[in-house]
Amino acid sequence: MKKVVISSLVSMFTLFALANCTGTTPSPEAHTGYIEKKNLTHEEVSKLIVEAAEKAGWKMTEFKSNAFIAEKIDGEDSVAATVTFGHGSFDISPENGELEDIVSDALN
């Protein structure tokens, strides 16, 4: 009986911990922008972001189907950010003004 109670408590704790991980809010350091161009497919948005960023000297690595890791090395300084996009908006985390302008110009 003692093992059943301990097992139940461990299971409940695990489920509680996993449930809290799925509903994360955006980082306060993130920037959210909006896509004004309508009727763009997922692939077209992805292509526009990558082309614009690479043209400006950023290295874009696909992380997920809707996210890229953007990296830029300028001398000894390096900057990295995650660009995530969805229906009608994009997020850049942590916030990066240069990358924000590039993506916003490409999508608007």
- Residue 33: give its domain's CATH number: 3.30.310.80
Higher pLDDT, residue 16 or 74: 74
Mean pLDDT for all residues in the chain:
80
Which pLDDT value is given to residue 88? 87
Which pLDDT value is given to residue 70? 96
Q: Which domain holds residue 36?
A: 26-107
Residue 11 lies in a domain: no
Q: Which of 79, 84, 3 is nearest to 49 (CA)?
A: 84
Residue 74 has pLDDT above 80, yes or no: yes
Residue 36 lies in a domain: yes
Which pLDDT value is given to residue 72? 95
Q: What total number of domains does the chain contain?
A: 1
Residue 21 lies in a domain: no
Q: Which of 43, 44, 62, 60 is nearest to 99 (CA)?
A: 60
